[in-house]
Chain A
Amino acid sequence: MMSRGRFGEFGGQYVPETLMNELIRLEKAYQHYKNDPEFCAELDDLLKNYAGRPSLLYYAERMTKDLGGAKIYLKREDLNHTGAHKINNCLGQVLLAKKMGKTRVIAETGAGQHGVATATVAALMNMECEVFMGKRDTERQALNVYRMELLGAKVHPVTSGTQVLKDAVNETMREWAGRVDDTHYVLGSVMGPHPFPTMVRDFQSVISKEAREEILKREGKLPDAVLACVGGGSNAIGMFYHFINDRGVKLIGCEAAGRGIETGQHAATMATGTRGIFHGMHSYFCQNEYGQIDEVYSISAGLDYPGIGPEHAYLRDSGRAEYVPVTDEEAVSAFEYLAKTEGIICAIESAHAVAQAIRIAPAMRRDQVIIVCLSGRGDKDVASIAKYRGVNINE
């Protein structure tokens, strides 16, 4: 399926020449260390004793009974240290960077979860850390900015372009092209040039590895569907990966439809995007008729990205996975529903996947099983949800 960083015809390595030797070095280092028993043992130890893995596979009994259909399990990535799946990738990449002799890491962030995870691991491994975050995102996720600073990272508000996630990626790429000798770019999703989509997927695939083993133990069979939200697509590919060869398991990615596909204010790349080559990869993007990248919108800063990882493009076009749009309103309702029904405040990103479970579970049989990846916790979103509902909580 994969050659030279391709998933079918998607993927590739479309970056300035300045970065090519560094990407080649990174690929070689990754190929070496992923098979190095010492590296793997070290990473496993960190995942277990630092991040708190394995994450729980929680049976959402009240939700299941309330919806009256399929049994719903939640893969609790929100319970990881730093509160999201992002730590899985950061532990892998920063450890790799350290082995490569790097002393400094840089990262982009949207909602701030990846920035926080990178800053956390950088602190743990005594690396210098700088995070690039769209200025608009620093405003809607001010708490995470302060959190990164507490962890010793320097946060750069990005004022270029539309001042959100894609601009943060642009700026981090520019920074990396200026300084590769001592610096590794900890890309936060399964996107960008090869080897990132493969490497990040491998680090995130622990999600489905655990979920698959656990569900077989608990239910004695595979699930009928697994659901995850998609922006760039890292928790989704992590949730899908070990189920890809189980043809009976439906893989469903939930993308941000913002104020509705018809309003044009959304980040629904699969529903509305066209093929393009951007941010180092051939994939689908929201763009205009001349290939200018669109400004996208979602209530969720983490899904507010105009593209999608190349492996998702491949999984969709080959018919293996399906991708559905979920609006802000549906996501916020699901966010509130999960809080009231299960006592879990999840990330607004993850709420997009919960919304899809609420849609499909009632029509499924009671002996059917779905797993929803709860990619992160929702503390960071409480203020913006209150604002969305018109509640003034004085923040």
Chain B
Amino acid sequence: MSKIREAFQSGKAFIPFITAGDPSIGDTERFIQTMAESGADLIEIGIPFSDPIAEGIVIQEADIRALAAGTTTDLVFDMVSRVRGKVAVPLVFMTYLNPVYHYGYEKFFTRCEEVGISGIIIPDLPYEEKADVDGPAAAHGVELISMIAPTSEDRIRMIAKEAKGFLYVVSSMGVTGMRRNIRTDLPSMVRAIRDVTDVPCAIGFGINTPEQAKKMAGIADGVIVGSAIVKIVEQKGKDAAPEIADYVRKMKEAAEEAAD
């Protein structure tokens, strides 16, 4: 069983996201440890990109701060390599295709394997274009995680059939960011996925309260939270660890309640 699948074995998974290099790469290293110690089952590490078209304002600004602080793909790899020895949970990257393409697919995934990255999420890489990336990723044991959106409809089966790691179910139209209400018919999306695959499903985009986490975990196998955590870093900077710990603990507990 893949390391990512294992993360979904003990109840509902809580998956936090953090932008690497915000406010500094050393801080990100500490925050990853904090999140792992506070109950995160899998951690998404964002490699910052200058033009993140699927992100709302919170993560856009984190990317800008991280790049302004001098964050590079190589520095992110080095950081992952250091933190890998300190945390047991699987680590996956989330980034845009251009930084990966520019690094070189083969070289990028070789480095992923060396530092212990288990998967990658690339929002601007849809099903039709994934072959060029999936080959090199798979060759180095990195699972290319697919996304399913509220507009996917007839595409759900096609995408789910080839899913690896877990399926990232996008809760809402638009971009990442905290939302008060999520109106998409997620139960029927998850049912359509279940028809063709037993790969775990995690819901992301817009989730920020424990109530939402509990509700979403009731529908799927896990919950992904990005902007709410990045917002804590935006507000507290290098001192964000205690608040991140509280938040992750609270959200993990809420997700677990759905399993009862």
Contact A291 B98 (CB under 8 A): yes
Q: Is A170 an interface residue (CB 8 A)?
A: yes
8 A Cβ contacts from B112-154 to A = 123-129, 146-154
A166 nearest CB neighbor, chain B only: B51
Contact A276 B102 (CB under 8 A): yes
Residues on B with C-beta less than 8 A from A166 are 51
Looking at B50, B97, B102, the one whose CB has the most chain A CB atoms below 10 A away is B50
Contact B50 A16 (CB under 8 A): no
Which segment, of A49-57, A177-185, A238-246, A258-266, faces chain B?
A177-185
Which segment, of A17-25, A115-123, A222-230, A384-392, faces chain B?
A17-25
> What is the distance, in angstroms, from B21's C-beta to the closest C-beta of chain A?
12
Q: Is B72 an interface residue (CB 8 A)?
A: yes
Q: How far is the CA of A279 from the CA of B57 in the complex (A)?
A: 18
> What is the distance, in angstroms, from A22's C-beta to the closest C-beta of chain B?
7
Residues on B with C-beta less than 8 A from A160 are 57, 60
Looking at A173, A280, A291, the one whose CB has the most chain B CB atoms below 10 A away is A291
A167 nearest CB neighbor, chain B only: B51
Residues on B with C-beta less than 8 A from A178 are 173-175
Contact B128 A4 (CB under 8 A): yes
Contact B53 A170 (CB under 8 A): yes
Q: How many A residues touch B, CB cutoff 8 Å? A: 37
Residues on B with C-beta less than 8 A from A274 are 102
How many residue pairs, one in A and one in B, have C-beta atoms under 8 Å apart? 120
Q: Return the contact of A291 from the options B103, B150, B151 (Cβ within 8 A).
A: B103
Q: Return the contact of A21 from the options B73, B96, B129, B152 (Cβ within 8 A).
A: B152
> What is the distance, in angstroms, from A58's C-beta to the closest C-beta of chain B?
40
Residues on A with C-beta less than 8 A from B97 are 14, 277-278
Contact B151 A14 (CB under 8 A): no
Q: How far is the CA of A167 from the CA of B216 in the complex (A)?
A: 33
Residues on A with C-beta less than 8 A from B154 are 21
Q: Given that A166-B51, A177-B173, A178-B173 are contacting pairs, would A276 and B155 also be in contact in the complex, using a CB cutoff of 8 Å? A: no
Q: Return the contact of A16 from the options B64, B101, B124 (Cβ within 8 A).
A: B124
Q: Is A378 an interface residue (CB 8 A)?
A: no
Contact A18 B149 (CB under 8 A): yes
> What is the distance, in angstroms, from A310's C-beta to the closest C-beta of chain B?
13
Residues on B with C-beta less than 8 A from A15 are 124, 126
Residues on A with C-beta less than 8 A from B103 are 290-291
Q: How far is the CA of A150 from the CA of B174 in the complex (A)?
A: 29
Instruction: Bits for B150-176, please: 1 = Cβ < 8 Å to A, else 0.
Output: 111111000100000000001001110
Q: Is A340 an interface residue (CB 8 A)?
A: no
Q: Return the contact of B147 from the options A4, A16, A167 (Cβ within 8 A).
A: A16
A-side interface residues toward B, CB under 8 Å?
Answer: 4, 12-22, 160-161, 166-167, 170, 173-174, 177-180, 274-280, 285, 287, 289-293
B-side interface residues toward A, CB under 8 Å?
Answer: 49-51, 53-54, 56-57, 60, 64, 67, 72-74, 96-103, 123-129, 146-155, 159, 170, 173-175
Q: Lowest 6 CB-CB distances: which A-B pairs, in order?
A: A291-B102, A178-B174, A18-B149, A291-B99, A291-B98, A292-B50
26 A–B pairs (Cβ distance < 8 Å), ordered by A:
A13-B126, A14-B97, A14-B124, A14-B125, A16-B147, A17-B148, A17-B149, A17-B170, A18-B173, A20-B127, A20-B128, A21-B151, A21-B152, A161-B50, A170-B51, A174-B174, A177-B53, A177-B173, A180-B151, A277-B97, A278-B51, A287-B98, A287-B102, A290-B73, A290-B99, A293-B50
